[in-house]
Amino acid sequence: MTALTFDRHASEIVTQTDLLVAAIDGADLTVPVPSCPGWNVGQLLRHLGGGQRWAADTVGTRATDRLPDDHFRDLSPYANEDPAVVGPWLAEGARLLADTLLEAGPDSPASTDPVPNGTAAFYARRFMNETLVHRADAILALGAPFTVERDVAIDAIDEWMWLGSLPMHFEFHPQMRELLGPGRTLHFHATDTPPDAHAEWVIDLTGDAIAWRRAHEKSAVAVRAPLVDLVLAIFKRRDIRSAGIEIFGDEELLDFWLERVDFG
């Protein structure tokens, strides 16, 4: 389920990267990133740019097996990055990925292991939102305000709900089954969007699998906040109890869901 097109996902990879590059102009990239412990901003940028290039290789070669990704996991060589160097490199990689995606087309096969049924469309959406969230990591670490367009933010939450409910998680993380139980529902509601945006999400843990839907329903716990705050809280980039976020109901269930649901 996605409201954005494949072409929009691909173009937003470039848009989000360009916003990030503009934000680091003249910045001290040795500043630690609290939401990515052990990394500074420069290392975060190298991780993101390496990931974008890896995705371009995967899509461009129609890879049927997962390509090695150690080159953007080991960030120790990148402790003292210069924005004048890493910025253009990052922008170049984003354009390479977008161009590769558009040339391949959304249905082009590509390994998305461990997510099944891989196509280029997965990488367009995943790296739009990967870039968005890492832009937030860097901008917040540098002490600047983070903003995002409404439709992009909604898509980011939709994708996170989808990823977090994939049945494969029970195979790789059996402890996630402990989330399931009677009466366990969570409702997230963006308070600054018009009704036709349908920016409300319900997570249903009452069955034998994790389910989610866009809906306004009474739930065991409800979270109300401006959309950008919901994005940051759901992606664990902001404390769920930050100012401006309202919680009603079973806070322990909310904490349990945030603890157990992850991707990557």
Domain with CATH 3.30.1050.10 in the chain: 153-260
Q: Which portions of the chain are predicted below pLDDT 50? A: 1
Q: Where in the chain is the domain with CATH 1.20.120.450?
A: 6-146
Query: Tell me, what's the pLDDT at 214?
Result: 97
Considering the four listed CATH numbers 1.20.120.450, 2.40.50.140, 1.10.150.120, 3.40.50.261, the one that applies to the domain covering 6-146 is 1.20.120.450
User: Which pLDDT does position 172 carry in this prediction?
Assistant: 84
The pTM of the full predicted model, rounded to 2 decimals, is 0.94
**Per-residue tokens: 96:** 């390479």
> What is the predicted pLDDT for the residue at 263?
57
pLDDT at residue 1, as a whole number: 46
Q: What per-residue confidence (pLDDT) applies to 169? A: 85
**The CATH number of domain 153-260 is 3.30.1330.10:** no
Dist. CA 202–CA 89, nearest whole Å: 40
- Given this model, what pLDDT does residue 114 score? 85
